[in-house]
Amino acid sequence: MNKNGLGLHIVFTGAPGCGKGTQARILKDKIAIPHLSTGEMLRAEAAKGTPLGLEIKALIDGGNLVPDDMIIKMLSARIDEDDCKNGFILDGFPRTLPQAEVLEEMLSKKGITLDAVIEIQVPDEIIMERILGRYACMTCGAGYHDKFQKPKVYGVCDKCGGTDFYRRIDDNRATVQNRLVNYRALTYPTIPYFDKKGLLRCVDGTGTIEATARKIDDLLAVTKPQ
C-alpha cells in the first residue's frame, strides 16, 4: 500500500518457468495495475543493440543475472511513472538478497510498503518441460506452449490474429540449467527473508494456469487492503 493506505504492491517470485509472468499478466488484466517484468525491461534494452544492450543480451543468453545496480536504477525509474500510482505487480525482481534489501529501502523512500510476496512453487522436473515448450506471439506477446496451451487455430494467435511467433534464446536446456542453479544460489535466499517479514504467501503452481490463478485470487482477497 502507499502512504494513504491504498493500492496493491506485490511481488511474484519462484523458479524460472514457474508461471510468474503468466500469472502476473492475468492479474494485471483483472485489477488494472501494471505488470513490471524486469526480464522484459532488460530484453527491450538488449533489443536496442546499444553497447549496454549487447552487454545485457550476453548475460541473459547465458542464463546469468544482470548486475544489481543496473536493474535497480531501471526499476526505480519505472516505479516513478504515473501508471504505478495505484500499485504494481513485480515479476522477476528481487532476484538476489541485496535486491530485496534495496527494494524495501527504495519503496520506503517512495512511501510504499509491500503487501505480499507470492511464491509460485513448481518442482524442477516440471519446469524444464514448461520452458522448453513455451513460445509467444511476436505482435502482442501472448504466451503459448507446444503441449499445454496451443492456439485455437494452428499458427494463429488467439488474442490478436498474429501469425509470427518466437521462442526466447535463453529457453534452451543448458541455459535453463544455469538459470536454475542461479535461482537456487542467489534468488532462493529471498524466500526465507520475506517469510521472516511476514510477507510470504506460497501457491502450488503445478496445476493448470486457471487453477493457479484462482488460488492467487483467493490469497489476494485476504491480502488486499480494504
Residue positions annotated with a catalytic role:
20, 95, 134, 168, 179
Sites for ligand AMP among residues 115-144 (CB under 6 A) = none
If binding means CB under 6 A, how many residues of this protein chain bind ligand AMP?
A: 18
Phi, psi for 149 (deg, rounded to 5): -150, 80
CA distance 180 to 212: 21
Q: Which three cell numbers stand for residue 98?
A: 541485496
In the complex with ligand AMP, the residue whose CB is nearer, 37 or 212, is 37
DSSP H helices, the chain, are: 20-31, 38-47, 51-61, 68-79, 97-109, 124-132, 173-182, 190-196, 209-223
Q: Does 16 bind ligand AMP (CB under 6 A)?
A: yes
Contact indicator for 37, 24 with CB cutoff of 8 Å: yes
To the nearest whole angstrom, how small is the minimum distance from the Cβ of residue 106 to ligand AMP? Answer: 13
Check if the beta carbon of residue 120 is closer than 8 Å to that of residue 212: yes
Residue 18 as a binder of ligand AMP (CB under 6 A): the answer is no
Which residue number, 66 or 79, has a Cβ lying nearer to ligand AMP? 66
Residue whose entry in the numeric block shows the C-alpha cell 538478497: 97
Shortest Å, Cβ 184 to ligand AMP: 14
Find the shortest distance in angstroms from Cβ 163 to ligand AMP: 24
CB of 223 to ligand AMP, least distance (A): 23
Residues that bind ligand AMP (CB under 6 A): 16, 37-39, 42, 59-60, 63-66, 71, 92-93, 95, 99, 170, 179
